């Protein structure tokens, strides 16, 4: 009995969200700092206090107790942000209906996914863990900080990040629902119908609730509220501008179609994912304020993606579209700095423009650019220290820092770092995250003995 109670409270203590938000203090000294927004600053220091960038300048002094990293000859850039990933979550597609806005991948975060550590090895500090593209309107996504080493799922969640949701055009929803289950949508025009019908229902739902909320303030009101639907509630939040759509797309015609749907329903927050033929409608995307998250040079892997160009990112950028380069793949995620560098060959983007594709621009697409994406005072200390320039083929991440805490160190980490919990191993022997649990657990045995009279 004592052991059962002990285990239960140990789990409760270990899953307190506040304990997972570990922050650090350090000074990175004498680096070439790639700020993204304020140019390149040579022989510069970055001071981190409580997980935030406190100062950027020369000859800074580290307060007592701060870790010091000598980055002489190294490059420091903002942590890389992957706007399209499926890592760190235990479920991807809820494909039982064409509209599943009521589900959320953030309810199934897997902190033990070793691909998160491998992403850190590639300089990635934040990912957009997305629902899949099986549905015309899929589930809600989750922005994650790669605090690999924590044991509680909540500690990976980027608190305060705007809500996002996955939509999909083209072959995926038509194959899954029309081809697989003989229900709408079976065609691209069917996908449009599903979306328009869903938004129309959500608009009517929101109006019914608004009417009810006003009516119930009147003296003598005895009416009942409308039937609650979390699905329609979520869709109504999109119409209000509180949720950002991230829409799987390839062909220019369906991208343009989706722009018209958004215009008709007053939706202004949308990011097109993949958007392989985005270069064909770049001016239209820019005019409507839509954003694009693309592959550098990946296409022809299925029929509807048979055509694109490696100049896609550059053309979109030159047309004023906020553009990012993503991975949608656990292996490619480790090489996003190489993917960004391709835009200098195909499009002649500047260093800052190319690096913005994997830092500031995806931050804008996720609505978190006030916190991450560039090296500025007050922003989260999510940084990567590179040997050689990150856009060089010789660039290699050495240290990756999240919230001022070193989460990857090429020189010091063991060759095979991962959390591997043996289900047959006693709880007492499981090594907890690098944080001060000792103070929480000290005297716990004695307390149980006293409280429950087990002496």
Place of tokens 């509807």: 304
23-79+373-434 belongs to which CATH class?
A: mainly beta
pLDDT of residue 414: 84
pTM of the predicted model as reported, rounded to 2 decimal places: 0.87
Low-confidence ranges of the chain (pLDDT < 70): 1-20, 416-455
Ramachandran assignment for 114, one of left (phi > 0), alpha (psi -120 to 50 degrees), beta (any other): alpha
pLDDT of residue 439: 42
CATH 3.20.20.140 residue ranges in the chain?
80-370
CATH 2.30.40.10 residue ranges in the chain?
23-79+373-434
CB 247 within 8 A of CB 168: yes
State the pairing for strand pair 40-49/26-34: antiparallel
Place of tokens 């289900």: 423
DSSP designation for 296: S
pLDDT of residue 415: 74
CA dist., res. 254 & res. 73, Å (int): 48
Token pair for 335: 């090489």
pLDDT of residue 424: 66
CATH assignment of 80-370, among 1.10.10.10, 3.90.76.10, 3.90.380.10, 3.20.20.140: 3.20.20.140
């Amino acid at each position: 009995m004592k052991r059962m109670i002990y285990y239960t409270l140990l789990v409760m203590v270990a899953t307190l969200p506040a304990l997972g938000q570990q922050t650090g203090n350090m000074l990175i000294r004498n680096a070439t700092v790639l700020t993204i927004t304020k140019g390149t600053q040579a022989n510069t220091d970055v001071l981190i206090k409580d997980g935030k960038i406190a100062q950027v300048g020369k000859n800074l002094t580290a307060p007592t107790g701060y870790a010091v990293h000598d980055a002489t000859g190294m490059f420091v850039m903002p942590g890389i942000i992957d706007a399209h990933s499926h890592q760190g979550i235990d479920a991807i597609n809820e494909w039982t209906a064409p509209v599943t806005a009521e589900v959320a991948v953030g309810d199934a975060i897997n902190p033990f996914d070793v691909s998160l550590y491998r992403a850190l090895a590639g300089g990635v500090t934040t990912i957009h863990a997305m629902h899949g593209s099986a549905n015309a309107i899929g589930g809600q996504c989750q922005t994650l900080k790669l605090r690999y080493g924590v044991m509680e799922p909540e500690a990976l969640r980027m608190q305060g990040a705007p809500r996002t949701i996955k939509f999909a055009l083209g072959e995926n929803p038509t194959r899954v629902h029309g081809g697989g289950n003989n229900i709408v949508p079976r065609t691209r025009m069917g996908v449009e119908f599903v979306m328009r019908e869903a938004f129309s229902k959500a608009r009517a739902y929101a109006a019914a609730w608004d009417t009810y909320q006003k009516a119930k303030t009147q003296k003598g009101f005895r009416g009942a509220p409308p039937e609650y639907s979390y699905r329609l509630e979520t869709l109504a939040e999109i119409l209000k501008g509180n949720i950002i759509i991230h829409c799987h797309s390839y062909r220019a015609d369906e991208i343009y179609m989706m722009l018209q749907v958004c215009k008709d329903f007053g939706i202004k927050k949308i990011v097109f994912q993949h958007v392989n033929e985005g270069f064909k409608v770049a001016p239209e995307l820019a005019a409507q304020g839509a954003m694009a998250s693309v592959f550098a040079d990946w296409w022809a892997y299925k029929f509807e993606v048979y055509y694109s160009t490696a100049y896609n990112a550059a053309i979109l950028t030159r047309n004023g579209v906020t553009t990012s380069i993503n991975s949608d793949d656990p292996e490619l995620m480790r090489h996003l700095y190489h993917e960004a560098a391709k835009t200098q060959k195909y499009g002649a983007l500047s260093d800052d423009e190319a690096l913005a594709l994997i830092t500031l621009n995806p931050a804008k697409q996720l609505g978190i650019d006030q916190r991450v994406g560039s090296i500025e005072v007050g922003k989260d200390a999510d940084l990567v220290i590179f040997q050689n320039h990150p856009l060089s083929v010789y660039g290699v991440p050495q240290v990756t820092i999240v919230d001022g805490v070193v989460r990857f160190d090429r020189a010091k980490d063991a060759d095979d770092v991962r959390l591997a919990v043996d289900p047959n191993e006693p709880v007492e022997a499981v090594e907890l995250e690098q944080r001060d649990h000792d103070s929480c657990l000290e005297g716990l045995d004695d307390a149980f003995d006293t409280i429950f009279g087990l002496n």
